[in-house]
Amino acid sequence: MKKSLVALAVLGSFAGVAAAQSSVTLFGVVDVAARYTKANGQDVYSLASGGNTTSRLGVRGVEDLGGGLKASFWLESQVNVDAGTAAGSDGKFWGRRATVSLSGDFGTVNLGRNKNSTKLAYEDFDPTSATGLGSVENLYSNLGSGAGLGRYDNQVTYVLPANLGGFYGSVDVAAGEGVAAGKSYSGRVGYKADAVNVSAAYMETGWDTKFKLMTLGASYDFGIAKPALLYTTTEFGALKQEVWTASVTAPLGAGSVWASYSDAADKSTVSSTKYKANQIAAGYIYNLSKRTALYTTVSLIDNGGQATFSLNGNTPKVTADGRSGGFDLGVRHSF
């Protein structure tokens, strides 16, 4: 009897160690907003999922392997709260992220579908993190290349360790596996310490004619306000676009207020569709708690020349040289 009790105690202690060394977490965001948009004299009233932060459901876990080495996984899917449907990025259920990783003093290696380094770079300097009516991506163009701007399948990512005195960076390689989109490369380097954050990133994808994206960003947090400047170019053959974004974020009461101005221009060497477009946007986020917030966003895109950039997924559709405007009011809860 005593031996049985001792054995149970030993097994219990091992179980406790195993539980302490590994963990699995269910997490997500539920975000929905009442939205109004207008273009070409047409009004659209809708309920939009992810007005401030993309609604999602995910599960992630980590295991301590000892000696500073850890193994982890991350599976994340987009959720359309307005319709109660699951619709991952590019139509994939785990389209937001599906990775397995090893990390240690050397940094982190991620294998699987994930954001590439350039998207992470320009999100850092956009007050909306490239989400919603005020997203800087509203003016970004892939120039008809068919290339995605943010996430890639078959990706291997190396992330520098966090103990480099403020320097950070990552590099990605995504295998083409013989498909038309081809393989892709991307990387970023930056420095973030105290109030300063500066970053540069570059990516290219495709086979013969490469789609290329380069972005530079800088911000400084004065405490009372954090201004940021972002410059991005995209190229595909003779086609080229330049986008400048100036923004500011400031604490206000129990939340924060932000505003941004973006200017996009066609810089193609040969083009019969020259254009310019700009977007002005602003918003306020009021934190009810650490996990729940109310928010509102207002945005206006003014197209010039042949530009047809729009809000709300081109609903209503925008004609060349037209305008697209709107605002929303929503609630975000994370768990």
What would the pLDDT profile of 18-44 be if each residue is shown by its tens digit?
Answer: 444 689 999 999 999 999 999 988 999
Instruction: Tell me the residue type at 307.
Output: A
239: exposed, middle or buried (Cβ count in 10 Å: 0-12, 13-18, 19+): buried
**What does the pLDDT average to over 270-298?**
93
Q: Which of 13-17, 47-51, 97-101, 250-254 has the lowest mean pLDDT?
A: 13-17
Q: No. of H helices and E strands in the chain?
A: 2, 19
CA dist 152 to 27, 105, 184, Å? 22, 26, 8
Residues, the chain, total? 335
Q: Is the pLDDT of residue 163 over 60?
A: yes
Q: Is the pLDDT of residue 2 over 60?
A: no
Q: Answer yes or no: are the C-beta atoms of 173 and 185 closer than 8 Å.
A: yes
Rounded average pLDDT over 162-183: 86
Average of per-residue pLDDT values in the chain: 90
Q: From CA 301, how far away is CA 308, in angstroms rounded?
A: 9
Task: Report which of 251, 335, 247 is spatially closest to residue 285, judged by C-alpha positions.
Answer: 251
Q: What is the pLDDT of residue 5?
A: 40
Find the Cα–Cα–Cα–Cα dihedral 155, 160, 161, 167, rounded to 10°. Answer: -140
3-state secondary structure of 152: strand
* Residue carrying structure tokens 């259920």: 93
Cis omega (within 30 of 0) on the bond before 251? no
Looking up tokens 């569709």, which residue turns up? 273
Q: Is the pLDDT of residue 266 over 90?
A: yes
| Residue 126: both structure tokens together | 């956009």
Task: Determine the Cα–Cα distance for residues 307 and 314; give it in Å rounded to an integer.
Answer: 13
- Kindly give the pairing relationship between strand 22-39 and strand 56-66: antiparallel
Q: Which residues contact 8 (CB under 8 A, 6 or more apart)?
A: none
Does residue 19 sit in helix, strand or coil? Answer: helix
**So what's the pLDDT on residue 178?**
66
Q: Summarize pLDDT for 248-262 with one digit per residue, the tens.
A: 999 999 999 999 999
Q: Is the pLDDT of residue 12 over 50?
A: no
Given a contact cutoff of 8 angstroms between Cβ atoms, the answer to whether 29 and 333 are in contact is: yes
The number of C-alpha atoms within 13 Å of 322 and in the hemisphere containing its C-beta is 17
Check: CB of residue 139 under 8 Å from CB of residue 130. no
The H or E element that residue 14 is part of is helix 2-21
Which residues are 76's β-sheet partners?
58, 97
Q: Given pLDDT bands bounded at 50, 70 and 90, which one contains residue 11?
A: very low
List pLDDT tens digits, range 71-93. 999 999 999 999 888 866 567 88
